């Protein structure tokens, strides 16, 4: 598996865990208590939503940073490739000129 795929998989798992953490914690009941189910308060739901959104934002920032690093690397490689092609063309031209001079 490529490193990028591992990061994306880890990010997706982390995001889903953060989204469900609040809901799972609210839905757990102690087996010894037989109290009626209680409605979760708006504050708890809001906090759970914020945790999920914060986790998603963190994963998004990591993904964007990783993407920018990859973009920069690919641009550097493309620049190096162009420079090598130019130097190769220059060497070809110089060698052709030397051959022409030797023939004369």
pLDDT of residue 37: 54
Query: Structural domain of residue 74, as residue ranges?
Result: 3-25+44-103
Position 69 in a domain: yes
The structural domain count of the chain equals: 1
Please provide the DSSP assignment of 39-97 as one string. Answer: PPPHHHHHHHHHHHHHHHHHHHHHHHHHHHHHHHHHHHHHHHHHHHHHHHHHHHHHHHH
Question: Nearest 5 degrees, angle CA 84-CA 72-CA 83?
Answer: 10
The pTM of the whole model exceeds 0.75? no
CA dist 45 and 54 (Å) reads 14
Position 13 in a domain: yes
Position 11 in a domain: yes
Q: What is the pLDDT along the chain (104 residues), one digit of tens a residue?
A: 566 666 666 666 666 666 665 555 555 545 555 555 555 567 677 777 888 888 888 988 998 988 889 999 999 999 999 999 999 999 999 999 999 988 87
């Amino acid at each position: 598996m490529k490193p990028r795929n591992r990061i994306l998989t880890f990010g997706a798992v982390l995001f889903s865990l953060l989204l469900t953490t609040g809901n799972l914690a609210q839905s757990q009941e102690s087996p010894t208590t037989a109290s009626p189910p209680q409605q979760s308060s708006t504050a708890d739901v809001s906090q759970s939503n914020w945790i999920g959104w914060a986790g998603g934002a963190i994963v998004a920032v990591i993904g964007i940073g990783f993407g920018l690093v990859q973009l920069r690397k690919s641009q550097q490689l493309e620049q190096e490739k162009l420079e090598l092609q130019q130097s190769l063309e220059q060497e070809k031209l110089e060698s052709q000129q030397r051959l022409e001079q030797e023939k004369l």
